[in-house]
Amino acid sequence: MEKTYIFNLETLKIELHFSKAEYQALPEADKKLLKSNFLFSRYSSAWVSRAKEPNLYRAQQVAGKLGFTQEQRTGERLTFANQVERQQERAEHRVERFEGYADNAERRAEGLQAGINSMHGDIAFFTQPNINSSAGRAFKRQREKMFARYGRGFEEYRKSEYFRDRAATAQNTADMKKFSDPVYLDNRIKECKKNIRAMEKNIVAYEERLARIETGEVIKDYNGEIITAERYEKALENALEKIEAEMDKQGYMENCLDEIGGNKFSKDNIKPGYIVKVRGSGRCEVVSVGPVNIAYKILDGGAAGMVLSEAYAAIVEIIEAKDSKEIIENPFKDGDILCKLRPADNSIYRAFQVVKVTKTGVKIQRIEVENGKPIADKFIGDKAMQKKIVKSKYSDFIGVYDDDWQLHKYTTHAQEVAI
C-alpha cells in the first residue's frame, strides 16, 4: 500500500507518520534504517528527517523503502531572512539552556566535593591508617564514600565544561558573525549562482523531454519504467521553486555583503607584485590574478614562501602597490645543455641543447644521454621546441619548463640543484 510523506516547506524536512502498531510491525532492519535517517519529534508526533533540502535524496530513498512513495506539501516556504531569524532565535534558546545545564552541573560538582574540600588541612583525615575496629571500619567507609563523591564531582565538572562549549558554539550561531565575513558571503553567493545555473540546465532538459512526450515519443527510466509528462511537470515545478529560493538566498547574502562595504578588491585593482594583507596569512605578495581568485606568496612567519590561492574577498588591505613587470634576463646561450633531473637523486632523465637564443626565450632540441651524461650535438629527431624564459611562482628558479619539469643547466661538475 502506497503511503504519503509530508514535505514541510517551513522546516524544509520530510516527515513520516506511523501509527504505533505500524512502527512496532517494522522489521528490526527497517527500524535501524529509519533511525539512521530520521529523528522522532514529539512536537510533530512524526519521524522527521535529519537532513533538509537540498540534501533529502537519501531520506526520500528510505521513505520509499518504507512505503512512503507519495509527497504531500504543508506550510509555506520561509524567506531566507526569516530562516536566518528563526535559526538565530533557536540558537539563543540553546545558549540559555546549555548555560543552565552547565550551572547545574557546577553546583552538583561543588556539593559532591564539599566533604573532601572541608577536610583540607586535616592531615590526620588523609593519613589515618585503616584500623580493624568498629569505629575504624566506620571511618574507612565514610572516607571511601567521600572520595567516591569527590570523583563524581570531577565528572560533573567535565559535564559543565562540555555544556559551556556547547553554549559557546550556539552563541556563535546566535551572533551570526558569518554574515559579517566577506569570504563566507562571497563563497555563498558563488554557491547560489552555481546552483541556479545547474537548475536552469535541468529546466531546459525537462522542457525538452516534455516536448518529446507531447509528440508521442516514449521515454523510459533506467529501470524500463515509462516516464509520464506529469513526472517532468512536477520536476519542472520543483526546479522553479528551488531557483526562486536560491535567488532569495543570494539576494540576502549580497545585501549583507553590501552592508560591510562589498567586495573592495578584484582583478581591476589587484595586480601581480602587489603586497597585500590576506586574512589568515598576513603580509603576502600577489603572484597571479584570475577572474575569481588570486595566487599569493606568504612573506612572513613559519609559512613564508608558501604559495596559496584565495578569493579576492580574503584581501584585507593593499600594503604596497608596486609594479611587478620585472625584466627577466635570458640566462642561456647557444650550445647550453638543459636537463630534466630525477627528484630522487638529481640524475639526468632527459637532456636538451639550446640551438637558438632570443631575448625572451630559447629554442631547444633533445639530445642523447649515455651513461648518465648528455652528448652534445647528438640530436634525437629534427624537431626543436621554442620555450619562453619564466620565473617560478614557488621558488627563485628562472629558466624554462618542459611538461611542468624545470630544465636545469648542465655542468661537468656535480649537480646541486635547488628545486
Per residue in 252-276, pLDDT (tens digit) is: 999 999 998 888 899 999 998 899 9
Q: Are 310 and 289 in contact (CB under 8 A)?
A: no
Residue 419 has pLDDT above 60, yes or no: no
Who has greater pLDDT, 389 or 382?
389
DSSP string, 61-111: HHHHHTTEEEEEEES-PPPHHHHHHHHHHHHHHHHHHHHHHHHHHHHHHHH
DSSP string, 331-389: ---TT-EEEEE-TTT--EEEEEEEEEE-SSEEEEEEEEEETTEEEEEEESSS--EEEE-
pLDDT at 129: 87
Q: How confident is the model at residue 326 (pLDDT cuts 50, 70, 90)?
A: low
Nearest-5° Cα angle at 165, 159 to 169: 145
Q: How many CA atoms lie within 13 A of 147 on its CB side?
A: 8
pTM of the model: 0.67
Q: Are 45 and 17 in contact (CB under 8 A)?
A: yes
Domain residue ranges in the chain: 3-77, 102-172, 180-259, 275-320, 337-409
Average pLDDT, the chain: 90
List 307's β-bridge partners, or say none: 297
Element (H, E) at 275: strand 275-278
C-alpha–C-alpha distance, residues 223 and 304, integer Å: 56
Q: How confident is the model at residue 408 (pLDDT cuts 50, 70, 90)?
A: very high
Query: CB within 8 A of 84, min separation 6: which ones?
Result: 176, 179, 252
pLDDT at 1: 62
Nearest to 276 by CA among 227, 250, 233, 311: 311
* Percent of the chain whose predicted confidence (pLDDT) is above 90: 67
179-194 burial by CB neighbour count: b if 16+ within 10 A, else e? bebbbbbbebbeebee
Per residue in 111-160, pLDDT (tens digit) is: 999 999 998 888 888 888 888 888 889 988 999 999 999 999 999 999 99
Binning the chain into helix, strand and coil, the percentages to the nearest 5 are 45, 25, 30
Per residue in 261-318, pLDDT (tens digit) is: 888 899 999 998 899 999 889 999 998 899 889 999 999 998 888 899 999 999 999 9
Q: How far apart are the first and last CA of the chain?
A: 68
Per residue in 11-43, pLDDT (tens digit) is: 999 999 998 899 999 999 999 999 999 999 998
C-alpha–C-alpha distance, residues 231 and 182, integer Å: 40
In three-state secondary structure terms, 269 is: coil
pLDDT at 412: 64
Per residue in 177-230, pLDDT (tens digit) is: 899 999 999 999 999 999 999 999 999 999 999 999 999 999 988 888 898 999
Query: CB within 8 A of 296, min separation 6: which ones?
Result: 276, 278, 281, 284, 285, 286, 287, 307, 308, 309, 310
pLDDT at 324: 59
Element (H, E) at 4: strand 3-8
